[in-house]
Chains A and B, each alone.
Chain A
Amino acid sequence: MPSLLLPSTRREFLHLSSKGVGLLAFSRFAPQFLVQTSLTAPKPEKDRKILVLVQLAGGNDGLNTVVPFSDPAYHSLRPTLALDQKDVLPLNDSLGFHSACAPLHALLNEGRLGIVQNVGYPNPNRSHFRSTEIWETATASDETAASGWIGRYLDNACAGAPAAADPDAVHISAEVPQSFGGVHPHNTYGLALGARAGKNDSALLERLATQGAYTGHGQPDTNHDFLRATLMDSLVSEKKIQRILDANKPEATYPASPFAQALRNVGGLIAAGLSTRVYFVSLGGFDTHANQSNPHANLLRQLSEGLAAFQKDLTARGLDGQVLTMTFSEFGRRPNENQSGGTDHGTAAPLFVMGKQIHGPMHGTAPNLAVEKNADLTYSTDFRSVYATVLDRWLDCPADTILGARHERLGFLG
Chain B
Amino acid sequence: MTSPLDPREAWQPLPASEWNADLARHLLRRAGWAARPDEVARAVQQGLAATLNRLFPATPPPLARPAFIPLAQDRINALRPLKRGALDQEERRIYEREERELERTAGVELTFKWLQAAADPSRSAYEKWVHFLTDVYVISMEKVRSAELVYQHYDLLRTKGTGTAPALTKAVSRSAAMIRYLDLDLSSKKAPNENFARELFELFTLGEGNYTEDDIKQAARAFTGYRHGKDGFRQNERERDTTPKTIFGQTGPYLGDDVIDLVYRQPAAATFLPREMARFYLTERTLPHEFFVPLGQDWRASGFNLRELCLRFFGSRAFYAPTFRANYIKSPIHFYLGLLQDLGLDVLPLQRTTLQPLRQMGQTFLLPPNVRGWVGGRLWINSSTLAARRQLAETLCSPLDEDRLNADDRLELEGARDAGHSRFTVDDERIRTFASLGAPGIAERLCDFFLPVRVTPEYRATLTQFLTASSPAEAEAKARRATIAILQSPEYQLC
Contact = CB atoms under 8 A, between A and B. Distances in A.
Contact of A175 (B104, B384, B391): B391
Interface in A192-246: 200-202, 204-205, 207-209, 211-215, 217, 219, 222-224, 226-228, 230-231, 233-234
B456 A214 contact: yes
Contact of A213 (B100, B387, B406, B451): B451
B458 A211 contact: yes
A332 interface: no
Contacts of B75: none
A57 B407 CA distance: 12
A49 interface: no
Contacts of B409: 128
B320 interface: no
Interface stretch (B152-160, B238-246, B257-265, B350-358): B350-358
A200 B485 CA distance: 11
Given A208-B486, A215-B456, A217-B327, A178 B395 contact: no
Interface stretch (B35-43, B213-221, B375-383): B375-383
Contact of B353 (A125, A175, A182): A175
B76 to A, nearest CB: 15
Contacts of B454: 214
Given A223-B329, A285-B404, A234 B385 contact: no
B482 interface: yes
A222 B377 CA distance: 11
B384 A205 contact: no
B167 interface: no
Given A127-B408, A188-B384, A289-B407, A208 B329 contact: no
Interface stretch (B7-15, B109-117, B429-437, B487-495): B487-495
Nearest to A132: B352
A186 B447 CA distance: 31
Contacts of A41: none
A207 B356 CA distance: 30
Contacts of A200: 481
Contacts of B96: 142
Contacts of A226: 378, 381
B456 A213 contact: yes
Interface string A156-167: 000000000001
B383 A233 contact: yes
Given A175-B352, A176-B360, A213-B447, A204 B481 contact: yes
B97 to A, nearest CB: 5
B307 interface: no
Interface in B199-252: none
A414 to B, nearest CB: 34
A213 B490 CA distance: 9
A33 interface: no
A180 interface: yes
B453 interface: yes
Contacts of B456: 211-215
Nearest to B100: A142
A228 B329 CA distance: 12
Interface stretch (B61-69, B129-137, B184-192, B459-467): B459-467
Given A208-B486, A224-B494, A227-B381, A214 B356 contact: no
A185 B327 contact: no
Contacts of B71: none
A231 B484 CA distance: 14
Contacts of A285: 404
B327 A176 contact: no
Contact of A214 (B329, B364, B453, B482): B453
B483 to A, nearest CB: 10
Contacts, number: 150
B494 A227 contact: yes
B395 A224 contact: no
A125 B391 CA distance: 28
Interface in B37-55: none
Contacts of B329: 223, 227
Contact of A181 (B94, B359, B463): B359
A230 B386 contact: yes
Among the interface residues A129, A130, A208, which one has the most CB atoms of the partner chain B within 10 A? A208
A223 B285 CA distance: 11
B15 to A, nearest CB: 23
A93 B462 CA distance: 67
B118 interface: no
Interface in A32-56: none
A149 interface: no
B388 interface: yes
A176 B387 contact: yes
A128 B447 CA distance: 39
A129 B486 contact: no
B327 A204 contact: no
Nearest to A188: B384
A209 B353 contact: no
A327 B357 CA distance: 23
Contacts of B323: 217, 219
Q: How large is the interface on A (under 10, 10 to 19, 20 to 34, 35 or more residues)?
A: 35 or more
Nearest to B96: A142
A174 interface: yes
B404 A213 contact: no
Contact of B327 (A174, A208, A224, A234): A224
Nearest to B378: A226
A256 B252 CA distance: 81
Given A185-B383, A204-B482, A224-B494, A209 B489 contact: yes
B6 interface: no
Contacts of B100: 142
A143 B371 CA distance: 21
A181 B357 CA distance: 11
A139 to B, nearest CB: 13
A290 B490 CA distance: 45
Nearest to B398: A174
Given A175-B357, A205-B488, A209-B490, A185 B404 contact: no
B455 A142 contact: no
A214 B142 CA distance: 43
B407 A287 contact: yes
B57 interface: no
A226 B328 CA distance: 12
A186 B323 CA distance: 32
A162 B353 CA distance: 33
Nearest to B463: A208
Contacts of A207: 462, 466
Contacts of B384: 176, 180-182, 185-188
Contacts of B491: 212-214, 224, 227
A219 B322 CA distance: 12
A213 B453 contact: yes
B414 interface: no
A188 B485 contact: no
A318 interface: no
A227 B493 contact: yes
B357 A227 contact: no
A190 interface: yes
Interface in B444-479: 447, 451, 453-456, 458-459, 462-463, 466
6 contacts: A57-B406, A187-B383, A223-B377, A228-B490, A231-B489, A287-B407
Interface of A: 57-59, 123, 125, 127-130, 141-142, 144, 146, 167, 174-176, 178, 180-182, 185-190, 200-202, 204-205, 207-209, 211-215, 217, 219, 222-224, 226-228, 230-231, 233-234, 284-285, 287, 289
Interface of B: 94, 96-97, 100-101, 104, 142, 322-323, 326-329, 351-353, 356-357, 359-360, 364, 377-378, 381-388, 391, 395, 404, 406-409, 447, 451, 453-456, 458-459, 462-463, 466, 481-482, 484-486, 488-491, 493-494
Given A213-B456, A222-B327, 8 more contacts: A129-B351, A175-B360, A181-B360, A213-B447, A213-B451, A217-B322, A217-B323, A227-B386
